[in-house]
Chain A
């Protein structure tokens, strides 16, 4: 069972289980709501119910006042849904966010090709158009795999029927092993989307910096293609870090884009070049290469990070040391059930 929860001013709709609190559901869906004590005492997570019925739960009478109960307010950390509900939360409406409803699609596999020794490129043809914002992801269902898996869309939004996924093979991973060993052209799969709040903030002035590690290139690729297609004139830099030359992919595409667009700089970087790589380009981890490129000063840029957690963490540290702070740093973060249980940062909202 469960109900749908729409969160204004974002306009995003998410699924909520019967006994799940609004706060828990939102955080798991990657939507940050203000919160602190998480047990109904501090009132930090107070939200306005615009439509539908909620059960208020254990909200303290000192945190949720009588007049507020009459005004249909509730504490997100203890409220559960009794119907489909619309709330308005104290979060900022993002002027750059597009709202695309989540829909179910049927897709047939056009290609499943080797990208590198550890990654595949899967191209899918959809049964109809999938409108999305560059940077978003879909949930893909695979035969015999219980839960759907999230994959970022690597194609630009201008390509609405033919989508591209870049999939790293996780050793022992149920879904990626299936893709690696069994998925073939002509197979039919179900997917739904688009999801996620990782997208280009076009309203931010100044330079754009994409920092991508491995197959974390997929979202930045979509975002970059989208920016260049729209004729965006801001300086754009893509640092793509991989271990060695064999792991580097889409190099020709980006080199050709860089030669055609003066405002685009492409910096592939190898952290551990193999003996025969004969590598003349940048070496080091993504954050190290970026630090050298920008001489330790990232002010005036907006950064988009995509890659494994250690890379993200190292990049945030480097960017903040270079005086770029939370409001100008964006990343994709997949919240799993385990993540939602973790101690959340008291200091940061989203990084």
Chain B
């Protein structure tokens, strides 16, 4: 009989775990100095089950081929003027939101996984973190390269990295990741790999990528596919991490539960921007935020938490709140951006009649009653030449940094306000979820870089709106304000008219 084949697991072990070594003359506590302070107890790192078995040499081959395919499609998109095939120039604003709000997070994820890969003492998670770190670097690069094509034709893309650090609403995604990266390695990986990648990522990727497909943006669809083949690995890593911590020691349960509660709420609040994008920014809509939340969280997430219940984990705290307010948050957010888009590098608009009807149909309990009249009022003002821009600065939630615009689910005519006093100062929050997070670690969140406070303190270029816009590198009248009056729209109308004229020319001349 022939020698027994080496199983994939054995082959994998030879190329990964067997490459690690024991420390003989240095104290492991000094080598992995962040391994203990969060209170997570690991008795046996060898019990870690690698969620996927991929060795570095195979990894390079995969990613190399993915890159070749992706760039071939991006090149074809550019050569064929793919930007003209999208449904409508309004769609491009969703891509602006993605590039300024999401792509820099991919870069932060790259850094974060590199940091914790160094800090986690087990070789299994070290290898997984190394690969994920490289994945994330690839994701941010491919996104920048793909979207750079739009930068040639549309405004607002040109300084996305600079804006990510400065523009008021971009502090929402930025502070989310900064919060995770300034925690310990176990909290970081729970926050990003489990709460975000596993529980919530479908709600980030699905809307953007399906939205791109529905709206003719094949370049974005392609980087979506290219990234999705990595996401499956990231999600299984998130599950394995949580299982591993829970199985290793009973003392880990309350710590992990608190992280799940915290990062579910942080991630959910961040997804407000996605909900707004789905309901308002896609000329051709995929599904409503409410439908997406029902499908991806209430149904799929419920199944996951049923399983986790065996470990003693319960549903994330305040999940009922997310269900109670699913008919409210996307509208509150778009209304806010409509108010403040003179200070944002993308355009807003009042949905057209058929779009308002779609919202009424998707949100029968809330839209007509609380939001539609507002939009109709603003539309009327706009027609009279009085397009409304809010001249004041909004109050921000100290935790999620979103302006305090969320309605109370029990009475949506009221705004939800919460507050806590710490060392004689009062801090404000949009929700019980955000207040709880602050109350547990006040010393961390009192350091929050809140954009409105920073403007008032004179740290953002000056005291007037033009000063702040300069500091943002935002070109007033070009990158911002009402879509109907924007150069983007004027260009788009010109290009589409030109296409029609070209189509009407005799064939010989066109060829």
Q: Nearest chain-A residue to B299 (Cβ)? A: A343
Confirm or deny: B386 has a beta carbon within 8 angstroms of a beta carbon on chain A: no
Q: Nearest chain-B residue to A351 (Cβ)? A: B310
By size class, the interface of chain A is 20 to 34
Which residue of the partner chain, among A36, A62, A88, A325, contacts B66 with CB atoms under 8 Å?
A62
Q: Are B243 and A42 in contact (CB under 8 A)?
A: no
CA distance A63 to B66 in the complex (A): 9
Q: Digitize A4-25: 1 where CB-to-B-CB distance is under 8 Å, 0 elsewhere.
A: 0000110000000000000000
Which residue of the partner chain, among A42, A90, A316, contacts B9 with CB atoms under 8 Å?
A90
Q: Are A66 and B65 in contact (CB under 8 A)?
A: yes
Confirm or deny: A321 has a beta carbon within 8 angstroms of a beta carbon on chain B: yes
- Whole-angstrom distance from the CB of A29 to the nearest CB of chain B? 20
Q: Which residues of B contact A325 (CB under 8 A)?
A: 247
Label chain B's interface by main secondary structure: helix
CA distance A41 to B243 in the complex (A): 25
Q: Are A62 and B69 in contact (CB under 8 A)?
A: yes
Confirm or deny: A61 has a beta carbon within 8 angstroms of a beta carbon on chain B: yes
Q: Are A88 and B5 in contact (CB under 8 A)?
A: yes
Q: Are B62 and A347 in contact (CB under 8 A)?
A: no
Confirm or deny: A259 has a beta carbon within 8 angstroms of a beta carbon on chain B: no
Q: Are A67 and B232 in contact (CB under 8 A)?
A: no
Which residue of the partner chain, among B8, B232, B304, contacts A43 with CB atoms under 8 Å?
B232
Q: Are B8 and A88 in contact (CB under 8 A)?
A: yes
Q: Are A62 and B225 in contact (CB under 8 A)?
A: yes
Confirm or deny: A173 has a beta carbon within 8 angstroms of a beta carbon on chain B: no
Q: Are A42 and B229 in contact (CB under 8 A)?
A: yes
CA distance A325 to B308 in the complex (A): 12
Confirm or deny: A323 has a beta carbon within 8 angstroms of a beta carbon on chain B: yes
Q: Nearest chain-A residue to B227 (Cβ)? A: A62
Confirm or deny: A317 has a beta carbon within 8 angstroms of a beta carbon on chain B: yes
Q: Nearest chain-B residue to A347 (Cβ)? A: B307
Q: Digitize B236-257: 1 where CB-to-A-CB distance is under 8 Å, 0 elsewhere.
A: 1001000100010010000000
CA distance A315 to B69 in the complex (A): 49
- In chain A, positions 29-71 with a C-beta closer than 8 Å to chain B are 36-37, 41-44, 60-63, 65-67
CA distance A343 to B307 in the complex (A): 12
Q: Nearest chain-B residue to A36 (Cβ)? A: B232
Contact A93:B243 (CB < 8 A) given known A60-B225, A63-B229, A345-B307: no
CA distance A92 to B66 in the complex (A): 28
CA distance A37 to B300 in the complex (A): 13
CA distance A348 to B236 in the complex (A): 11
Confirm or deny: A346 has a beta carbon within 8 angstroms of a beta carbon on chain B: yes
Contact A36:B236 (CB < 8 A) given known A41-B228, A42-B229, A346-B303: yes
Q: Nearest chain-B residue to A44 (Cβ)? A: B232
Q: Which residues of B contact A320 (CB under 8 A)?
A: 310-311
CA distance A18 to B308 in the complex (A): 37
- In chain B, positions 217-275 with a C-beta closer than 8 Å to chain A are 225-226, 228-229, 231-232, 235-236, 239, 243, 247, 250
- Whole-angstrom distance from the CB of B33 to the nearest CB of chain A? 29
- In chain A, positions 133-156 with a C-beta closer than 8 Å to chain B are none
Confirm or deny: B284 has a beta carbon within 8 angstroms of a beta carbon on chain A: no
**Between-chain CB contacts (< 8 Å), 18 pairs:** A8-B5, A36-B232, A36-B235, A37-B232, A41-B229, A41-B232, A42-B228, A62-B225, A62-B226, A62-B228, A65-B61, A65-B65, A93-B9, A320-B310, A343-B303, A346-B303, A347-B307, A348-B307
Interface positions of B (Cβ within 8 A of A): 5, 7-9, 52-53, 61-62, 65-66, 69-70, 198, 225-226, 228-229, 231-232, 235-236, 239, 243, 247, 250, 303-304, 307-308, 310-312
